[in-house]
Amino acid sequence: MAAQWQFVVALLVGVYTGCLLAQIERPPLEDPGVARHLFHLARENRTDAPPCGLGLKETQEIFGDFDMNGDGGVTNLELRLTWISKGLGDQQTADDLFKQADTDGDGTITPVPDMERVFHYFDMNGDGCVDEPEFIVIWSSLSHS
């Protein structure tokens, strides 16, 4: 009986140690203040947004704010200029964001497929709405990629 307990204790210590070591590799969570600020800016002036956060419709409306020439797509230059002019971040962040949002790699972010894919990536629980915690977690993970 004592041997069984020693085995269980050794197993638990091993699992606990493994969990600790695994977390050393994990990048630290970014200060959620930036992500929280961006989320609230996105919700601003969207009175018809769902109470849980942002739906696909709101995401596509925000996308329209970056489409400077109204052609239905957002180029890297359009995203960069709008991002910087709205005070959302620097050029490097805008360029990194563009690379991640241009999911089909054609040089233009479009509502379909790019924005739909981005929305579903942020909508971690698949309920059709991106809430603040989902946004913060995904935004922080993107900042480390």
- At 44 the pLDDT is 84
CA–CA distance, 49 with 59 (Å, rounded to integer): 10
First vs last C-alpha separation in the chain: 49
Tokens, residue 61: 């409306």
Residues in the chain, pLDDT under 50: 3-27
Give the predicted TM-score (pTM) of the model: 0.74
Q: What is the pLDDT of residue 31?
A: 67
Is residue 78 helix, strand or coil?
Answer: helix
